[in-house]
Amino acid sequence: MKKALICGVSGQDGAYLAKLLLEKGYGVCGTSRDAQMSSFRNLVSLGIRDQIKLESVALNDFRSVLQALIKTEPDEVYNLAGQTSVGLSFQQPVETLESISFGTLNWLEAIRFTGAPIKFYNAGSSECFGDIGDRLADEETSFRPRSPYAVAKSAAFWQVANYREAYGLFACSGILFNHESPLRPERFVTQKIIAAACRIAQGSSEQLHLGNISIQRDWGWAPEYVEAMHLMLQQEQPEDFVIATGHSTKLEDFVAQAFAAVGINWRDRVTTDSSLFRPTDLAISRANPAKAREKLGWQARYRMEDVVKEMVSAKLQASPGDRP
């Protein structure tokens, strides 16, 4: 039986990845900053909470990371932890850098220190590319980060590349574009939109306040993206991959789809609020996932419209206590 250690198992991607690996017969261990206090709500909602061994790990503490590796003896490590919000990173730049960049470095150094043949996956981000206009971003596109989050993810990406080249570690990064699911918390704009549309459909008189709705993003389905993560660690050689649908749409279109799904004209209930604009933001984010299709055999099946439909359906079916 293969063993996998998922750092950040309580998040959206961590929960879906844990479910996937369990279905493939893995023994799965997940980490959280405080495993005794965390509710692991996403694992509970997927019905897998009791199938996963849980450990407390502080990402910025090398000794804590090393102890987790020695104790669990994993074949594969998936580093999905750290601060995950671009918007919040402007308010917490230091914590963002420490949890993402220093956390990744501690995993890499701990793996090198143990000398074990562990395969390491790092969660990269399309935010690293910055504002490259209407061009398609692929694995050869230069990074021009425009947020503290993107700066931290860029540093982590190059740390992975350095340890791969300098020490021969099987370490790779998935440069993931936006991917959503019902497990997204409402501080993410996509879930904020879905939740508001559903509340309004159920009688709420509220107005939904959003920032810049003209931005374009490539939105995919999170359960598909974790399949790509696993595939990366099954290759003979470690390589980095862009993971995306290859189709970008405006946030305005996402809003329109969400409200249309509940039978409401979004223009009557949505207000653009300039105070919600980020200090710097990407106008357009577009991807070329050809390498993943050719080398991994991975291709996104869900488009933005499918993602919205699934999220709205899940939100309407959820009881108030089950909602993120």
Q: Report, as residue numbers or ranges, the catalytic residues.
A: 125, 127, 149
Rounded CA separation 117/130 (Å): 34
Maximum Cα interatomic distance, the chain, rounded to a whole number of Å:
60
Residue 95: phi and psi, rounded to 5, are: -60, -35
Which residues does 72 contact at the CB level (< 8 Å), separation at least 6? 3, 5, 29, 53, 55
Rounded CA separation 257/307 (Å): 10
> Which ranges constitute the DSSP H helices of 35-102?
41-45, 62-72, 86-91, 93-97
- In angstroms, how far is the first alpha carbon of the chain from the final one? 33
Rounded CA separation 109/258 (Å): 44
